Chain A
Amino acid sequence: MNEKNNNLLSIRHLTTHFHTEQGLVRAVQDVSFDIPRGKTLAVVGESGCGKSVTALSVMRLIPWPPGKIVEGEIMFKGESLLKASESRMRQIRGNDIAMIFQEPMTSLNPVFTVGNQIVEAVKLHQKKSGSQAWDIAVDMMRKVGIADPDRRVHEYPHQMSGGMRQRVMIAMALCCSPSLLIADEPTTALDVTIQAQILELLRRMQEQSGMSIMLITHDLGVVAENADDIAVMYASWVAETASAKDLFDKPLHPYTHGLLRSLPRLGAKKHRLDVIGGTVPNPLHFPSGCKFHPRCPIGCKDAHCRTAEPPLREVTPGHCVACWHAEGYREMLNVKS
């Protein structure tokens, strides 16, 4: 199989803008990455970096107005999603590409039982009778680890805990066996012990079905243990893409480097944490040139970084970075290891 066929999803130069009353928000700019079949790609970034908008762009769920996909190409199984008709998109959504959200309370309808909501998803995409669809719903709920599913399909979302609701969301997303699951901060609202349960569930479901996962998160711990590849986003653009191992072992972008160093780690016994100075830029007024330059220890002194936007380029095989100083910044910062 050649490399092209192995990618389930390819995003090239995706650019999404929002025309707001305060001005033009360039939420996603020139974003490119691939998700291979059966693998997990994590999109990591801080709030407002455009990671959720990227996911919504893939689903073509950007509301117009104010939002618009201005440029780019999204290829899913060889089909261009940006050129697909609205009715074709409806077939794809929930069927080939499914999505789960951060807040399991607001993304479930409070006036229907959870069973009803799973059945709706099944019936929309598969020719099944009512009772067959219910069987699928009960079966899915059992698969995602809900005890006593025959009884619990008749419960309403408010009768369930946060972890259970997230399981229902996963059951709903997986009932049509999608080939791509987009998980937007699936465990952010959950406690650590429940987070461990949900992440294990996602891993198990991936092993069984061979689906690809696009995992959107800000938690680098979740990423390290669950992703095969990682795309780091900052202020609307991709700063770095690499395999999980490469990225954590040898980050090539000063932002990734700073982020990894600023994390408090278990057992680290550091007296002080390293910090990235400054604040996350406002999407209405992104800095010129490299968007990280005002906070970057090198970029803030370099006129080139201030004026010219660095392109995403492959520095070592499989490791792409958008930084003018990717090769030399370690020496410039006197990084030891």
Chain B
Amino acid sequence: MDETSKKLIEVKDLKTHFPIRAGVLSRTVGWVKAVDGVSFSIQRGQTLGLVGESGCGKTTVGRTLMRLIRATGGSFEFDGDEVFSLPAGRMKRFRQEVQMMFQDPFGSLNPRMTVEDIIGEPLLVHRVAQGRRRQRVAELMEKVGLSPQHLNRYPHEFSGGQRQRIGVARALALDPKFLICDEPVSALDVSIQSQIINLLQDLQSQLNLTYLFIAHDLAVVEHISDWVAVMYLGHIVEYANRDTLYTNPLHPYTVSLLSAIPEPTPNRQKKRIVLKGEVPSPSNPPSGCPFHPRCPLAEKRCAEENQRLEAKDASGQHWAACWKTTDEKIRQLRSQSFSD
């Protein structure tokens, strides 16, 4: 296989801006730049973890790729096709091949539909498995670890973890190639989270699925991802393969984020970098690097111009958007927070 056919997803310079309207005439008075120039690619059968704090635009990326929100700019190549300019006839196939899984196992299932109807609805819409829908739904339920005897039950009869399994079964109904998982485990109890993560990994290897895994929990993302992109205020600030990013983070935001996670090991007191202040509003982002008002290393240049995401090593495995990645200070910051 050559390089291009291994890539399933190629996103270039994706932008999603929302207008702020005011006044009687609802004139546009400004823009919320929720996603502002995001680029990444995902290989077939791999997982890209997209992490960031609330409001950084990670969910908007997922929804824009689903074409639930219209992109303001950029391109999205899926399996060789440019999705944002697909003719209406081809969209239907795209909608079969790309599916989404949601965070809230309570809000994402219609309480008035039985499990059979919920999982079978995509089959109905796309006229797949006609005449043997019930059989197909039962197969899917078995695949995600639910008992097919529960076909006629309603969502409220299931626990949170089981409901999330129903969501997975629905997403898999049309044999998709690409699954966008938007915080699929963050609403679940600790002992249930690991069950769903294992399920997602098993399905990935069985069905050769490709995942975009959106989450805020860095430990979960490390576990499941092959590549990781860290977002801050609509930008990707660091993008690297998993091991590189977690062992050798280059962007001060990634370093602080990793150091902020409380770890379930009591004796190890890591020196925490406590970031000052809060994430600025995307409707009024700071000048230059979006992270500079909170950055422990910021200098004059950071407030003036933003460094674009660029490769920081020869093999192109590690990308960061920061002027100071070669600076001695980032090494100090890293060793300060990662030494035992």
Contacts and interface: CB of A to CB of B under 8 A. Distances in A.
Given A199-B262, A279-B161, A266 B216 contact: no
A334 interface: no
Interface residues of B, number: 42
Interface string A259-273: 110111111101011
Contact of B189 (A191, A194, A200, A218): A218
A199 B272 CA distance: 11
Interface in B240-282: 246-247, 256-258, 260-267, 269, 272, 274-275, 278-279
A264 B224 CA distance: 9
A197 B263 contact: no
A260 B264 contact: yes
Contacts of A263: 190, 194, 219, 264
Q: Is the interface of B mostly helix, strand, loop or mixed?
A: helix
Interface stretch (A2-10, A116-124, A221-229, A297-305): A221-229
A193 B53 contact: yes
A326 interface: no
A266 B51 CA distance: 14
Interface string B186-229: 00011111110110010000000000000011111011000000
Interface in A240-281: 244-245, 248-249, 258-260, 262-268, 270, 272-277, 279-280
A47 to B, nearest CB: 6
B287 interface: no
B189 to A, nearest CB: 4
Contacts of A226: 262
Interface in A187-223: 191-197, 199-200, 218-223
A220 B189 contact: no
A107 interface: no
Given A267-B246, A279-B192, A280-B189, A192 B260 contact: yes
Contacts of B190: 46, 218, 220, 259, 262-263
Contacts of B216: 191-192
Nearest to A225: B262
Given A46-B191, A225-B263, A197 B201 contact: no
Given A245-B266, A248-B266, 18 more contacts: A47-B160, A191-B53, A191-B216, A191-B279, A193-B260, A194-B53, A194-B278, A197-B275, A200-B272, A218-B190, A225-B269, A248-B265, A258-B191, A263-B264, A264-B219, A264-B220, A268-B223, A280-B192
6 contacts: A196-B274, A218-B189, A224-B266, A262-B193, A263-B194, A265-B264
Interface of B: 53-54, 159-162, 189-195, 197-198, 201, 216-220, 222-223, 246-247, 256-258, 260-267, 269, 272, 274-275, 278-279
Interface of A: 46-47, 161, 163-164, 191-197, 199-200, 218-226, 244-245, 248-249, 258-260, 262-268, 270, 272-277, 279-280, 282, 295
